[in-house]
Amino acid sequence: MVVTLSLMGCPRDGSADRPSDDDSRSARASDSSPAAPSSAPAVFAPPPVRPGKPATVPSVRTYNQRTGPGWRPAAGARVVADPGGPLADEARRLAEDLRLPTGPGPARPGDVELGLRAGQSGGPESYELTVQGRKATITAPDEAGLFYGTRTVVQAVRTAGGLPEGVLRDGPDRPQRGLNLDIARKHFSAGWIEARLREMADLKLNQLALHFSDDQGFRIESASHPEVVSPQHLTKAELRRIVALASALHITVVPEIDSPGHLGAVMTAHPALQLRDAAGTVARGAVDVANPEAARVVDDLLREFAPLFPGPYFHLGSDEYRALTAKNPQVAYPRLAELARQKYGPRALVQDLATGWLNDRAAVVRALGKTPKAWNDGFFRGGVVTPDKTIEVEYWTGKELGARPPQEYLNEGRTVVNLNDEYLYYVLGEPNQFRYPTGERIYRQWSPAVLRGTVSVPAGPTGADRIPGGRLAVWCDRAEAQTPEQVAAGIRMPLAAVAQKLWDPAPPQLTWADFSALATRVRR
């Protein structure tokens, strides 16, 4: 049963993207043109919508066509939902996008009706959209699915003027779909990040990862260690605004504090914690994992930032630790080698000390209610210490020294998220033979199972439970190579292609030319 009541008014100033308890945010249009009582007849005579599967990005999974005029937003149309229920914000947002008022139920011809339906099949991000009798009804088992249904309505209006008669059943193939953003090497404003969130939401993407600590900068205000924060940074107030908008758009923000490498900004403030080799040479960006004070500083930061990100994940980095890029780490870093043997036994190596560091940081964030993530080159084979099985592997490269093929992680029973640097790495300045990814190449060649290089992993555990999705990744190695506006333009089509391939695993039906034209038509 779908229960609906009226919702009087919709925001016109963009505030629909921010949760609020302020009931004064009603539509200016409805201030001057009050909605008619539910008993008043509505007169609709819009032209019929051409039948056929709606054109959206990502594409609708299932459409059962029926005979009828379809639905268009027209004079007298409203968005109907329970004003005291969980869909109030979704109704306001859809009303704003369609330039319609909200109004009291029951829904009548011309209206868009929103409702949760407990037990509806398809999972929390699925929805069903029925168009019949000049009325559109969106139902879903959860708010996220209902929101995605509203995005389909908006895109269908942009591309065809409305929705055809029939029933849509839709939902994503992979539960993690998103963008990875390096804000440590390059400062991006809160407004720029918020614009990307809105773009992502229209594409039904649900995850934004923020890499905010690296050698070049620490970019979020800190109370526990203000000395590590870069002059250009996000304030906590700005971060809370970003997280609130993301939550309203059903996007999870994943924080990343990378260690024991990529900690240069922290080491600048704490030079005594820097790692040095046998000759006394500083290992750039690397913390001395043998120093208990180093663990204390990193754990302070993890504990400070975890509550600011309400999502279930915390990324711990763990990649490219310089002690392990030496030809013989035991010779280059004899003090670490000795500590490894003291701590883990005579067969232990420096890699075991690094694995122990990762496991300790994972224990910290698990105690804070987070699932830890780490890059694939922080997981080593053949050690006496094994990386905790609860840490999600984020696979980005097979090019690093000693890199393991993704099949090994899957064989170990691990969950592996796809950030394949062959297709999904947008690296500013294109260093180290990187090339800016194109939407066309992703659209034609990449899939969630293509974790490394250009070839899928062998048949086996490649479903959503083992490879839960992926992200396009922006890395700012040469920060001045592009402006923020150029980055936004450069990732637009790759992001659309990623959204399509993570939503629907089937070979795309549209040609690249048709898909790219469609992606342009549905953009804000």
Residue 418 φ/ψ, nearest 5 degrees = -95, 115
Cα angle for residues 96, 102, 108 (degrees, 5° grid):
125
Coil/strand/helix, residue 131:
strand
The span from the CA of 389 to the CA of 255, in Å, is 20
Coil/strand/helix, residue 439:
helix
The span from the CA of 446 to the CA of 435, in Å, is 16
Task: Say how many CA atoms lie within 13 Å of 354 toward its Cβ.
Answer: 30
Cα angle for residues 82, 83, 84 (degrees, 5° grid):
90
The span from the CA of 423 to the CA of 446, in Å, is 7
pLDDT in the model for residue 25: 27
CA distances from 484 to 132, 196, 337 (A): 44, 11, 43
The span from the CA of 127 to the CA of 142, in Å, is 8
The span from the CA of 413 to the CA of 137, in Å, is 41
Other CB atoms within 10 Å distance of the CB of residue 108: 22
Q: Is the peptide bond before 307 cis (omega within 30 degrees of 0)?
A: no
The span from the CA of 518 to the CA of 524, in Å, is 12
The span from the CA of 110 to the CA of 135, in Å, is 5
At 334, list the tokens: 């004899």
The span from the CA of 138 to the CA of 152, in Å, is 10
pTM: 0.91
Coil/strand/helix, residue 218:
strand
CA distances from 179 to 1, 182, 247, 308, 444 (A): 36, 10, 15, 19, 19
The span from the CA of 113 to the CA of 213, in Å, is 44
Question: Which H or E element spans position 375?
Answer: strand 371-375
pLDDT in the model for residue 12: 34
**Beta strand extents in 421-489 (DSSP E only):** 425-427, 469-475
pLDDT in the model for residue 44: 52
pLDDT in the model for residue 20: 40
Question: Which H or E element spans position 62?
Answer: strand 62-65
Q: Is the peptide bond before 106 cis (omega within 30 degrees of 0)?
A: yes
Cα angle for residues 150, 156, 160 (degrees, 5° grid):
160
End-to-end CA distance of the chain: 34
| CA dihedral of 74, 79, 126, 248, whole degrees rounded to 10 | 120
Question: What residues contact residue 260 under an 8 Å CB cut-off, 6+ apart?
Answer: 275, 286, 287, 289, 294, 318, 321, 354, 357
With DSSP H G I counted as helix, E B as strand and the rest as coil, what are the percentages for the chain, rounded to 5? 35, 20, 50
The span from the CA of 348 to the CA of 185, in Å, is 35
Residue 270 amino acid letter: H
Question: Which H or E element spans position 276?
Answer: strand 274-276
Task: Say how many CA atoms lie within 13 Å of 172 toward its Cβ.
Answer: 30
The span from the CA of 454 to the CA of 485, in Å, is 30
Which letter does DSSP use for residue 226 in this model?
G
How far is CA 471 from its chain centroid? 7
Coil/strand/helix, residue 208:
strand
Length of the chain: 524
Which letter does DSSP use for residue 17 in this model?
G
pLDDT in the model for residue 103: 82
Q: Which residues are catalytic?
A: 320
Q: Is the peptide bond before 260 cis (omega within 30 degrees of 0)?
A: yes
What is the mean pLDDT, run by run of 10 residues, along the chain of 524 residues?
37 38 32 42 72 96 96 94 90 96 88 95 96 96 98 97 97 98 98 98 98 98 98 98 98 98 97 96 95 97 98 97 94 97 97 98 98 96 95 93 88 96 98 96 97 90 95 98 98 98 93 97 87
pLDDT in the model for residue 43: 46
**Residue 340 contacts residue 353 (beta carbons within 8 Å):** yes
